[in-house]
């Protein structure tokens, strides 16, 4: 019994030290579960559900014209490659990057070969729908933006810092696999698009 007590005491101390270490981390502490690992190239993306947009042009762009339910999953979008920007209205670098990301979107739209294959969405983590709307209006963002107000999606994606870019394939062996996983800006949109177009057939 005495031995059990001392083991318990040791466990208590270990847990106390661990919780202190976690709470004092300089970065938002990583959780201990598998699901919150940051997105890794070659790995599948966790299933993400978003609210079905109301606007008909956004629905058409995403290939969701006939969607009837209130939410949809990423796999329902028509694409070869889906580029997801994880952003926040409150993040200075996301604000600074917005014009560059818009340029990338315009380049994709202007390219007849790529416009149907590469789609883009943004997910505002910790942002309300109102806050996402403010960002969209401020920077004239034309690709669909969604709100993740309760950080549910952010947790599934390993609580990445913002901005963060993830691209997934929707075809062949790479179906639902991550092909791009990048923290920070996209750099030159021309070069970024070039590297994306090389992945566009998901081979």
Partner 1 sequence: MRARLNHITATLICMLIISTPLWATAKSFNESIYNPGLLKPIDSLLKLKTGEMAPDFSLPAVSGKTISLKDYRNKKIVVLSFIPAAWTPVCSDQWPGYNIVEEIFNEYDATLLGISVDNIPTLFSWTGQMGRLWFEVLSDFWPHGEVADSFGLLRSSGVSERALIIIDKNGIIRFIKVNDINQRPPLETLVNELQKISAQPKPQ
* Interface positions with partner 1 (CB under 8 A): 4-5, 8-9, 11-12, 15-16, 18-19, 22-32, 86, 88-96, 125-126, 128, 130-131, 134-135, 138, 151, 154-155, 159, 161-164, 183-184
- For the record, the structure tokens of 182 come out as 């990048």
Contacts of 201 (CB under 8 A, 6+ apart): 80, 117, 171
- Under 8 Å between Cβ of 180 and 166: yes
CB of 203 to partner 1, least distance (A): 31
67 vs 134, beta carbon nearer partner 1: 134
94 vs 104, beta carbon nearer partner 1: 94
Q: Which residues of 49-78 are buried (b: 16+ CB within 10 A; e: fewer)?
A: ebebbeeeebbebbebeeeeeeebebeebe
61 vs 87, beta carbon nearer partner 1: 87
CB of 153 to partner 1, least distance (A): 10
| 3-class SS of residue 159 | coil
31 vs 195, beta carbon nearer partner 1: 31
62 vs 89, beta carbon nearer partner 1: 89
CB of 111 to partner 1, least distance (A): 28
Longest distance between any two alpha carbons in the chain, whole Å: 75
CB of 176 to partner 1, least distance (A): 24
Contacts of 64 (CB under 8 A, 6+ apart): 52, 53, 72, 76, 77
170: number of Cβ within 10 Å: 19
CB of 12 to partner 1, least distance (A): 6
């Amino acid at each position: 019994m005495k031995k059990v007590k001392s083991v318990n005491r040791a466990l208590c101390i270990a847990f106390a030290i661990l919780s202190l270490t976690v709470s004092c981390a300089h970065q938002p502490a990583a959780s201990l579960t598998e699901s919150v690992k940051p997105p890794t190239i070659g790995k599948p993306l966790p299933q993400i559900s978003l609210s079905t947009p109301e606007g008909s042009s956004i629905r058409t762009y995403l290939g969701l014209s006939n969607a009837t339910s209130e939410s949809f999953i990423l796999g329902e979008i028509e694409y070869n490659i889906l580029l997801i920007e994880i952003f926040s209205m409150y993040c200075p670098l996301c604000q600074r990057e917005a014009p560059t990301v818009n340029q990338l979107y315009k380049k994709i739209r202007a390219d007849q070969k790529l416009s149907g294959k590469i789609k883009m969405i943004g997910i505002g983590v910790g942002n309300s729908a109102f806050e996402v709307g403010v960002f969209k209006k401020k920077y004239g963002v034309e690709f669909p933006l969604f709100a993740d107000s309760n950080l549910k999606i952010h947790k599934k994606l390993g609580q990445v810092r913002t901005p963060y870019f993830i691209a997934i394939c929707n075809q062949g062996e790479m179906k639902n696999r991550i092909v791009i996983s990048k923290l920070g800006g996209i750099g030159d949109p021309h070069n970024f698009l070039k590297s994306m177009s090389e992945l566009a057939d998901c081979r």
